[in-house]
Amino acid sequence: MSTWLVEKCKPFSNFVEDIKAKGLYSYFTELERTGTYITVKGQNLVNFSSNDYLGLTHDPRVIEEARKALDIYGSGLCGSRYVVGTTIEHTRLEEKIADWKQKENCIVFSTGYQTLLGTVSAMLVKADDSIEDNIVLAIDKLSHACILDGCALAVGTHMTRGGSTKNLDGQIRYFRHNDPGSLESIVESSVKRGKNVMIIVEGVYSMDGDICRLPDFVNIANKYDACIAVDDAHGTGVLGKTGRGTGEHFGMDKDIDLLMGTFSKALGGVGGFVCGQRDVISHIKHKARSLIFSAASPVSNIVSVSKIIDIIRSEPEHLQNLRVNESYFKSKLKEFGFNYGDSETPIVPIIIGDSEKTMYISKKLYENNILMLPMIFPAVARGQERLRCTISAKHTRQDLDHALDVLYTEGKKIGVI
């Protein structure tokens, strides 16, 4: 067996073990029960760290759909979408999402991460599989890893595809977070060099809970004939009058060229989707390697997501409950003197500004049967350490008040407020 492999991995492994020994390791927690209320090692906790914003993962109607699919289709499809992994339920879900999102067509991927990888990389491939070197990818500096990795993989992969040595330097450009001026300077200079530009943004940024400045970005895209792609992972089911997402929030559904999202947040499953014009989706469908070479999502998952979309569209009370809970929780945090940044969504970053204090409050919350995980350096910049709190439609007023009481008591104790 190799000797260098263990030596290579040992330093970080030792670092992790040291954190565990200090009782500060809070990742890969083994859950015995999931949902708004979870169980960890026999301890029942209120979950403030889940992205199940509408709390529909345990809805009996959703579970029943999954059970029926298991009886018909079994536990898995054992093949890619390209071969034997596309069922009538996959197609129905794609049609439903396209209709919901007001787009011509849609393709479903096995994960949200793969959606971004496949979509972006497909944009840098021509019909004959040669490299598309005339497109610049303009992305926000605070983009999620799936966007960063998708762009890097797209450029890196195509630099070596077929032995090509084309120089694609400058094909990825980063603009300051949510800054239209910074973006426009990149787009303008790229267009002057004869390049086409794809602007890639998130509808809602997952660490700070702020919403992208979509109207400004659309204006820039229109001015320079750029394409705009929105990853609406955290906007879908949350933003807009009916929960359709960031496009509906701004009344700009039809201005988005490519709309991507995931099933693992408000839609209560696993997977992702991309919507757009029919020809564009057809290109992605046949060029996205993360789609073609990945196993298809089980039908039980597909029909669960489909049912949740039906519930969102027909029962507005879930979204209303979420917004009432979010408003109440934030009003109390503000009253207490906590800083939650520029959050406009159920993602509430309670910024503590110190790693030890953040870990301390998270631990005290846990001791009081509340799961609210810490985010410290290097996950966030120094001075921006925070508790990443997420609000659910299924949280009761008692749940919210209990968490607020502990936050207030411990925040006062260590001088955070």
Reference 221, options 246, 198, 249, 202; nearest CA is: 198
Q: Are 53 and 270 spatial neighbours (Cβ–Cβ below 8 Å)?
A: no
Where do the domains of the chain lie? 22-51+316-413, 60-314
DSSP strands (E only) in 57-134 = 105-109
Q: Please report, rounded to a whole number, the percentage of residues in the chain having pLDDT higher than 90.
A: 83
Confidence bin at 160 (pLDDT 50/70/90)? very low
Q: Structure tokens of 86? A: 């596309």
Q: What is the pLDDT of residues 106-152, one digit of tens each?
A: 999 999 999 999 999 899 888 887 777 889 999 999 888 888 888 88
Q: What pLDDT score does 149 carry?
A: 84
Report phi then psi at 186, rounded to 5. Answer: -70, -45
Confidence bin at 161 (pLDDT 50/70/90)? very low
Q: Structure tokens of 222? A: 């229109």
Q: Are 271 and 303 spatial neighbours (Cβ–Cβ below 8 Å)?
A: no
Pairing state of beta strands 386-390 and 347-351?
antiparallel
The CA-to-CA distance between both ends of the chain, in Å, stands at 55
Superfamily grouping for domain 22-51+316-413: Aspartate Aminotransferase, domain 1 (3.90.1150.10)
The residue ranking higher by pLDDT, 27 or 288, is: 288
Give the mean pLDDT of the chain.
93
- Answer whether residue 164 shows pLDDT above 50: no
Which ranges constitute the DSSP H helices of 161-213? 180-192
| 3-state SS, residue 350 | strand
- What CATH number was assigned to the domain covering residues 60-314? 3.40.640.10
Element (H, E) at 71: helix 60-73
Q: What pLDDT score does 148 carry?
A: 84
Q: What pLDDT score does 303 carry?
A: 99
Strands of 43-47's sheet in order across:
37-40, 43-47, 370-371
Q: What is the pLDDT of residues 300-311, one digit of tens each?
A: 999 999 999 999
| CA 256 – CA 124 distance, rounded (Å) | 19
